[in-house]
Structure formats: C-alpha cells, structure tokens
Amino acid sequence: MTARDIVIERRYRASVQDLWALWTTQEGFESWWGPVGFRADVRRIEARPDGVLHYAMVADSDEMIAAMQAAGESSVTECRGHFAEFHPCERLVLVQVIDFLPGVDPYDSRIAVDFIPEGDMVRMLVSLSPMHDAATSRMQEGGFLNQLTKLKERFGDLE
C-alpha cells in the first residue's frame, strides 16, 4: 500500500487575492504559518516560478519553547524550499526540503494549493505529500490543521 496525500479543504469569506497573499508575501506568510505556539520568520521569499522560500520556524510561546528544550531540540528550525508551480491566484506547489529531522535522510515534501473562487468565498484545497512515516505524517496534518485556526479567526471558516 502506498501512502496518499493528505487533503484538507476549507472555505473562507475572503478574496482569492487575500488568500494568495498568505502564501506568497512575507507579511502574509508570517501572519499565519506555523501551529499555535510557533511563528515563521521569513528570511527570503521569491513569489514566482522556481522562486525560493526560506524561513525560520520559531517556538514563540513559553510552553512550546519548554517542549522543544525537553525534547532536546532547538526552538528555531531553518526551513527551505521553492515554488515548483506558480499560477497566480489559482494554484501553487511549494516543495520544502525536510533536512532537520534527526536520524532521517533529507527528502522533499510537497504542498499543493488550489484556490477556487465560489461566489463571495474561496475554497482552498491543500494536498500535503506524506512524510517519511505514518506518525510524522499525522503530526504534519495535525500541525497544518492547527495553523489553519489562525485563518479561521481572521476570515471565518465555512469548512
């Protein structure tokens, strides 16, 4: 049996341009990326085909900092990737290099996002490629769902 992409779908009362900017601008990306208790500090973002995305995932709550320390992990993780597909306000594919997991050889992880206008709302369809094992894939899905709560607070979420 092969692992399947994790597909997450949400509807927001927002413009497609607003949702697109969340993925393609420093201000937008930093405003929501990362689970609650973490933030993303964008080092470089080139919103274009094959453009670079480099950010630091930073534990920024006392609870998350303590959890990272207890696990013997850094509270800051540098993350790098690129926009493998880039169709403004329609679709993007972000490929990130997973090279920060102890004992795991580096590999690419793919996030595909489709933006589908539906009247006064937009359907955002996200496909996450599976990670190196089922447990890490479940953690990835949980973390992504958690960070979507930031968008729900901002736009409302019509799941």
Residue 16 within a domain: yes
What is the C-alpha separation between 151 and 77, in angstroms, rounded?
A: 23
Task: Show Cβ contacts of residue 7 under 8 Å, excluding neighbours closer than 6 positions.
Answer: 125, 126, 127, 128
- Note down the domain range covering 150: 6-36+81-155
Residue 105 within a domain: yes
Residue 72 within a domain: no
Query: In Å, how far from its chain's centre is CA 155?
Result: 17
> Has residue 6 got a pLDDT over 60?
yes
Residue 42 within a domain: no
By CB atoms closer than 10 A (0-12, 13-18, 19+), residue 159 is exposed
Residues linked to residue 95 through DSSP beta bridges, in sequence order? 82, 110
Query: For a pLDDT cut of 90, what percent of the chain falls above it?
Result: 74
Read off the CATH number of the domain in which 139 is found: 3.30.530.20
Q: What is the mean pLDDT of residues 111-129?
A: 96
Residue 61 within a domain: no
Predicted confidence (pLDDT) per residue in 65-85, tens digit: 898 888 888 889 999 999 999
Residue 45 within a domain: no
User: Total domain count for the chain?
Assistant: 1
Provide the mean pLDDT of the chain.
92
Residue 130 within a domain: yes
Residue 49 within a domain: no
> The pTM is what?
0.90
**Model pLDDT, residue 51:** 98
